[in-house]
Chain A
Amino acid sequence: MSAPVYDLVDFDEVVEKFDPALGLEVHVELSTKTKMFCGCPTTFGAEPNTQVCPTCLGLPGSLPVVNKAAVEAAIRIGLALNCSIAPWCRFARKNYFYPDMPKNFQTSQYDEPIAFDGYLDVVLDDGETFRVGIERAHMEEDTGKSVHIGGADGRIHGAEYSLLDYNRAGVPLIEIVTKPILGTRERAPEIARAYVTALRDLIKALGVSDVRMDQGSLRCDVNLSLAPRGSGELGTRTETKNVNSLRSVERAVRHEMCRQAGVLLAGGEVVQETRHFLEDTASTRPGRRKETSEDYRYFPEPDLVPIAPSEEWIEELRATLPELPWARRARLQKEWQLSDEELRDLVNAGALDLIEATVAAGAPADDARAWWVAYLTQQANAREIPLDELPITPAQVARVIELVKSGELTNKLAREAVNGVLAGEGDVDEVVAKRGLAVVSDEGELVAAVEAALAAQPDVVEKIRGGKVQAAGAIVGAVMKATGGKADAKRVRELILERCS
């Protein structure tokens, strides 16, 4: 079957002629120690099929048991999204045949999600708030991973056979579905991205998932339809999968708007289907036609009894909700007196938590900020790792700052001390001792070095005596060299000027 090819429509024209309706489905992989229904580990990147058991392989006779930590995470996510929590709900079997699900059904929730009817207030770049309605958040399990062999670039199309790894099968997932997001107009791509960003930050703050889009622990499907501008109707939607970065969320929305408008303006019909996002071209290609929900023949999971969270349990969990990320950001911005731009830089650098922890360990906010966004960010970039994976703790950074404040380290020596910690040479004080980094505080040693430098450069001494105080810099440099950079430059200068007056 070859579908007719339509031209993409310019984005401005799309907005002029159509109203977009967005719907976002986000899957969050929980970072519980074990899977949803069995005690297998969930760590990423293990050898294939080494984190499996009869239950997640769907072997006959195995029985699932619900992971309590996963239910708690689901309820906390629901509460953070201002949802109602179902007083009673069940799991359901979603039946389909696909090799990534060895049971031939996915254990999910159907018409009784654990959390429903909430909202998330999303702060946009210009400071405006947009409220996104949350339809539901439900519990389910992840599928295995397939590798397609023999086709072009590992794609399923034209593959000769596929290889399956079930380590991921059964890892707890929370699927969060928005209500139709209407009235976004030209801001639809931006709002989609801002929503997923806010959701990611919220879930990270809850500590229930590492929400790494690059590792698939947060995945987003974009539903989009267009209706004639002002008609108040809803058009036929497509669902775009494989949207694996925040930037891609924005690009996928934009592309589908332009593509669907092309179809509609040419008199064609949008096909209700799943599409795949192509990262390299920021476009989408058709996937399978959607099955209808009847085709999944959902029925209550007979092997799992209902879940009925008590009021007390829900309130206990509510009490564990952290400060919301945007509220926290606003508080820190005020406390640390940052401009919007400075704050954004900290957030983008992933430095906020680290700086806050460094401040908590006793460092002044300015110094903590300077260390993390300048030198340590450079070190992380050089190693091509995220800032929070640098092998130095906020407490260690706070100690370095303390030593600089007390005059025991110069800034240059402090950087060496940090290098030593990063190189795994031990704690800050150990590195200072081992590398001999302490400032030369022995006045006699310092005076001797100064006098030696003055004696070596009599011409400079003449200049200083003649009133050219800035010439002292050359002597300071010589003293620093002689002491291996361990002299306090300010004190050296004082000593030079005393002797040349």
Chain B
Amino acid sequence: MSADPGATGPTLGRDEVAHLARLARLAVTEDELDLFARQLDSIIEWVAKVGEIAAADVPPTSHAVPLQNVFRPDELRPGLTQEQALAGAPASQDGRFRVPRILGEEQ
């Protein structure tokens, strides 16, 4: 794919989309790689427009609510029982969540 003439900002390649898909554990087909690269590229481009307006004196916003220092006292609150905790688990054993073999740890 070729970027629009005059477009600024990064151009996302197939390799990067494949890498992102792997990190997100998404199975993406060859065709989708091209599709998503194009779509993600245009999203990035769109978001980058914010940078054209915001000057250096405008700090990036991470929270829309102007609050800070919201704390909780260190006091116990009732949680779930083991049975409740495991109720939604696809599999459990000995009071624990049972998960498939963890792959990729030592490849």
Contacts and interface: CB of A to CB of B under 8 A. Distances in A.
Interface of A: 1, 32-34, 38-41, 47-54, 57, 59, 65-71, 88, 90, 95, 97-99, 146-148, 156-157, 159-166, 286-288, 295, 297, 300, 302, 304-309
Contacts of A288: 104-107
Contacts of B101: 159-162
B46 interface: no
Given A287-B105, A288-B104, 12 more contacts: A33-B74, A34-B77, A40-B79, A48-B82, A50-B81, A50-B82, A68-B72, A95-B23, A98-B102, A164-B96, A288-B106, A305-B63
Q: Could you say which interface size class chain B belongs to?
A: 35 or more
**Would you list the 10 A-B pairs with minimal beta carbon distance, nearest first?**
A39-B77, A53-B79, A69-B74, A68-B71, A163-B96, A300-B62, A164-B97, A65-B72, A48-B95, A49-B85
A300 B25 CA distance: 22
Given A159-B101, A307-B68, A51 B73 contact: no
B71 A66 contact: yes
Contacts of B73: 68-69
B78 to A, nearest CB: 8
A305 B68 contact: yes
Interface of A is mostly: loop
A52 B80 contact: yes
A257 B102 CA distance: 31
Nearest to B99: A99
B69 A307 contact: yes
A49 B82 contact: yes
Contacts of B76: 33-34, 39-41
Contacts of B30: none
12 contacts: A32-B74, A34-B74, A34-B77, A47-B82, A52-B80, A53-B77, A66-B71, A99-B97, A147-B96, A159-B102, A162-B102, A307-B68
B81 to A, nearest CB: 7
Nearest to A308: B68
B62 A287 contact: no
A68 B75 CA distance: 10
A65 B75 CA distance: 12
B25 A97 contact: yes
A295 B23 contact: yes
Interface in B49-95: 62-63, 65, 67-82, 85-86, 88, 93-95
B66 to A, nearest CB: 9
A49 B95 contact: yes
A162 B96 CA distance: 9
B100 interface: yes
A49 B58 CA distance: 45
Given A34-B77, A39-B76, A156-B102, A49 B86 contact: yes
A59 B105 CA distance: 25
Contacts of A71: 71
A306 B98 contact: no
Contact of B99 (A95, A162, A307): A162
A306 B106 contact: no
A154 to B, nearest CB: 13
Contacts of A163: 93-94, 96-99
A305 B70 contact: yes
Contacts of A300: 62-63
A36 to B, nearest CB: 10
A256 B48 CA distance: 45
Nearest to B66: A305
B22 to A, nearest CB: 9
Given A41-B76, A161-B100, A166-B97, A305 B67 contact: yes
Contact of A67 (B65, B72, B85, B106): B72
B74 A57 contact: no
Nearest to A151: B101
Contacts of B93: 163
B99 A66 contact: no
Contacts of A54: 80
Contacts of A41: 76
Nearest to A160: B101
Nearest to B93: A163
A306 to B, nearest CB: 5
A287 B105 CA distance: 7
